């Protein structure tokens, strides 16, 4: 269509006339034919090169059990897969040993360095053949390297928590781990929700700050350092606590205590709805799964704040990131605003956990930022 349009404009301006219809039809047919032939020739050339061992995707196999051996043998004997297994990473097999015809290059915890050395672009993970620590490290590398394609030999837990794709014919069932990231259109809608709702809530924030100033003295806000998108440190301002039992303390302990963070939301550093805020004081490398929560800006509310209480389930946050839609933001935001506007009684500053082992703030933010207080 673009080719026909350019031809039409060229003929029109060069000859100062209008091309005939048959000329346009001829050019249209020629363009379609050329595109079809070019695409077919490209596909044939790609197959020709791949069957001769060129233009193959280089991959690593993480785990060294019988399933990994089956995958390695299938790749070695089926050239149609266009894959080249360049190495195996296993915690128990000695280096330079072979799994089938594929050499063992090292430990799964060396995955990042081995990817650099071998220029691998894909990884097949046999989750049952590696330790929990190695599996978490592989997931961390997958989150850091968005260009890396990660597949997993499907187990029961993987089928329940991931999207199953038909990866390659001739291989065992694989779970494709998609990078958890927003589509451009979803990111635009999410930003529009943050700005529009954030601006609408500014008068409520001013009213809460005015009430806090009239009822007690001292600093109006307190600052918490949290990890934003990509691990950048962000200052989150919350309503400061007042004297015990005061109105300010009740506001600070409830959801109204999050309203001073609205300027950071309008600046794009935080979001109204998102994964739980992570304290900047804890090294991100200490808990590998936390990197996955940094793919989106932390939220003032989210699935972790479901049903009016902080949730301890990491799965809620990870599911929110992986299956994000603007509708999920609207649903969670309406639920949170409803709890904020309809709660009549004062919210206690501290919620006592039933097991008696810790105390968490009911606004959810402090629960994520401050370590539990041991009794």
pLDDT at residue 266, rounded to an integer: 92
Written as six digits, the tokens of 54 are 């060129």
Residues 121 and 88 in one domain: yes
Residues 203 and 164 in one domain: no
Residues 19 and 68 in one domain: no
Per 3-state DSSP, the chain is made up of helix, strand and coil in percentages (nearest 5) of: 50, 15, 35
Q: Tell me whether residue 49 is in a domain.
A: no
> Are 270 and 234 in contact, with CB atoms under 8 Å apart?
yes
CA distance 271 to 296: 9
pLDDT at residue 4, rounded to an integer: 63
pLDDT at residue 263, rounded to an integer: 92
Residues 24 and 85 in one domain: no
Which phi and psi (to 5°) does residue 312 adopt? -90, 0
Instruction: Give the domain-ending residue among 177, 210, 242.
Output: 177
pLDDT at residue 115, rounded to an integer: 92
Instruction: Give the domain-ending residue among 125, 145, 177.
Output: 177
Residues 247 and 354 in one domain: yes
Q: Tell me whether residue 36 is in a domain.
A: no
**Per-residue model confidence as pLDDT tens digits over 20-73:** 667 667 777 777 788 888 888 887 887 777 666 666 788 899 988 877 887 777
Q: How far is CA 60 from the centre of its chain?
A: 23
Residues 162 and 202 in one domain: no
Q: Which runs of consecutive H residues, i.e. helices, occur in 109-245?
A: 111-118, 132-144, 156-161, 184-215
Residues 314 and 196 in one domain: yes
Q: What is the domain extent for residue 6?
A: 1-30
Q: Tell me whether residue 11 is in a domain.
A: yes
Written as six digits, the tokens of 7 are 């031809």
Q: Tell me whether residue 191 is in a domain.
A: yes
Residue with tokens 């998102």: 274
**Type and span of the H or E element at 252:** helix 247-253
Q: Tell me whether residue 47 is in a domain.
A: no
Q: How far is CA 96 from the centre of its chain?
A: 36
Residues 121 and 64 in one domain: yes
Q: Tell me whether residue 41 is in a domain.
A: no
> Are 153 and 127 in contact, with CB atoms under 8 Å apart?
yes
Residues 161 and 213 in one domain: no
Instruction: Give the domain-ending residue among 146, 177, 208.
Output: 177
Residues 360 and 214 in one domain: yes
pLDDT at residue 83, rounded to an integer: 79
pTM: 0.52
pLDDT lower than 70: segments of the chain: 1-21, 23-24, 50-55, 77-81, 154-181, 284-290, 306-315, 340-375
Number of domains in the chain: 3
Which phi and psi (to 5°) does residue 336 adopt? -70, -45
Residue 87: give its domain's CATH number.
Answer: 3.40.50.720
Residues 93 and 204 in one domain: no
pLDDT at residue 277, rounded to an integer: 86
Distances in Å between the Cα of 12 and the Cα atoms of 3, 27, 31 are 14, 14, 19
Q: Tell me whether residue 37 is in a domain.
A: no
> Are 178 and 167 in contact, with CB atoms under 8 Å apart?
no
**Per-residue model confidence as pLDDT tens digits over 183-236:** 788 888 999 999 999 999 999 899 988 888 888 877 888 888 888 887 788 889
CA distance 192 to 5: 35
pLDDT at residue 69, rounded to an integer: 81
Q: Tell me whether residue 45 is in a domain.
A: no
Q: Please give the full DSSP string across 269-329, using - where no structure is assigned.
A: SSEEE-SPPEETTS-GGGSTTHHHHTTS--EEE-GGGGGGS----HHHHHHHHHT--HHHH
Please name every residue paired with 85 in a beta bridge, in sequence order, or none if there are none.
59
Which phi and psi (to 5°) does residue 122 adopt? -145, 155
> Are 358 and 352 in contact, with CB atoms under 8 Å apart?
no
Residues 69 and 158 in one domain: yes
């Amino acid at each position: 269509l673009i080719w026909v349009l350019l031809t039409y404009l060229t003929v029109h301006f060069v000859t100062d006339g209008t091309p005939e219809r048959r000329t346009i039809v001829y050019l249209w047919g020629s363009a379609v034919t050329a595109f079809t032939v070019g695409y077919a020739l490209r596909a044939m050339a790609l197959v020709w090169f791949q069957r001769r061992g060129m233009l193959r995707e280089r991959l690593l196999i993480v785990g060294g059990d019988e399933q990994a051996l089956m995958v390695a043998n299938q790749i070695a004997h089926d050239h149609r897969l266009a894959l080249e297994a360049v190495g195996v990473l296993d915690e128990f097999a000695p280096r330079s040993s072979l799994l089938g015809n594929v050499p063992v290059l090292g430990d799964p915890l060396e995955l990042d360095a081995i990817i650099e050395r071998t220029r691998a672009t894909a990884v097949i993970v046999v989750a049952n053949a590696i330790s929990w620590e190695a599996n978490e490290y592989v997931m961390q590398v997958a989150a850091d390297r968005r260009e890396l394609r990660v597949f997993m030999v499907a187990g029961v837990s993987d089928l329940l928590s991931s999207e199953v794709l038909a990866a390659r014919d001739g291989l065992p069932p694989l779970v494709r781990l998609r990078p958890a990231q927003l589509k451009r259109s979803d990111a635009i809608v999410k930003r529009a929700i943050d700005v529009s709702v954030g601006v609408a809530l500014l008068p409520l924030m001013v009213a809460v700050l005015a009430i806090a100033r009239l009822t007690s003295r001292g600093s109006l806000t307190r600052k918490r350092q949290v990890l934003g998108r990509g691990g950048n440190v962000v200052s989150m301002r919350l309503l400061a606590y007042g004297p015990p039992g005061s109105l300010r303390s009740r506001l600070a302990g409830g959801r109204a205590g999050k309203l001073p963070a609205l300027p950071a939301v309008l600046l794009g550093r935080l979001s109204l709805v998102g994964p739980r805020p992570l304290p900047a004081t804890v090294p991100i490398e200490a808990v590998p799964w936390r990197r996955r929560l940094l793919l989106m800006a932390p939220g003032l509310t989210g699935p972790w704040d479901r049903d009016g209480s902080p949730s301890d389930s990491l799965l809620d946050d990870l599911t929110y990131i992986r299956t994000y839609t603007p509708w999920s933001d609207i649903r969670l935001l309406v639920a949170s605003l409803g709890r904020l506007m309809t709660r009549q009684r004062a919210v206690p500053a501290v919620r006592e956990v039933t097991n008696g082992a810790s105390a968490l703030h009911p606004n959810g933010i402090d629960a994520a930022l401050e370590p539990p207080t041991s009794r």
